[in-house]
């Protein structure tokens, strides 16, 4: 759709971008889930240094999991917003075209 401001919006491109964001979120989710046990290994030994290192890795792993979950949620939400915007643009474009006597959804 071409607007008077010179902005071009392609609803199909928005939907493709949303699908790519969803795919990225799914991939990140699967990799993170499969690798989570590797991020917090058990202590290598009973001595203080090994115990401290294991606790450090465990804390870092929890932080990484929280941040990754937030990133996954943001990717999914951004994809949902792009789909809503694509639908809104397509609907508005169709209504405007119909009001001008053109076929709905076709840029005049």
User: For residue 64, how many C-alpha atoms fall within 13 Å in the half-sphere facing its CB?
Assistant: 17
Percentage of residues of the chain with pLDDT beyond 90: 60
Please report the pLDDT score of residue 39 as a whole number.
83
CATH of the domain at 74: 1.10.287
What's the whole-model pTM score? Answer: 0.74
Classify residue 1: in a domain, yes or no: no
Please report the pLDDT score of residue 108 as a whole number.
43
Integer Cα distance of 22 and 35 in angstroms: 20
Q: What is the residue range of 83's domain? A: 19-98
Integer Cα distance of 59 and 2 in angstroms: 51
Domain count, the chain: 1
Tens digit of each residue's pLDDT (9 = 90 or more) over 13-55: 999 999 999 999 999 999 988 787 788 888 999 999 999 999 9
């Amino acid at each position: 759709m071409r607007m008077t401001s010179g902005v071009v919006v392609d609803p199909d491109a928005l939907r493709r971008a949303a699908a790519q964001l969803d795919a990225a979120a799914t991939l990140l989710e699967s990799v993170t889930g499969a690798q989570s046990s590797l991020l917090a290994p058990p202590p290598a030994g009973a001595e203080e240094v090994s115990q401290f290192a294991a606790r450090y890795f465990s804390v870092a792993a929890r932080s990484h999991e929280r941040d990754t979950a937030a990133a996954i949620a943001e990717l999914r939400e951004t994809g949902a917003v792009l789909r809503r915007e694509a639908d809104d643009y397509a609907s508005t474009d169709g209504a405007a075209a119909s009001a001008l006597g053109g076929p709905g959804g076709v840029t005049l």
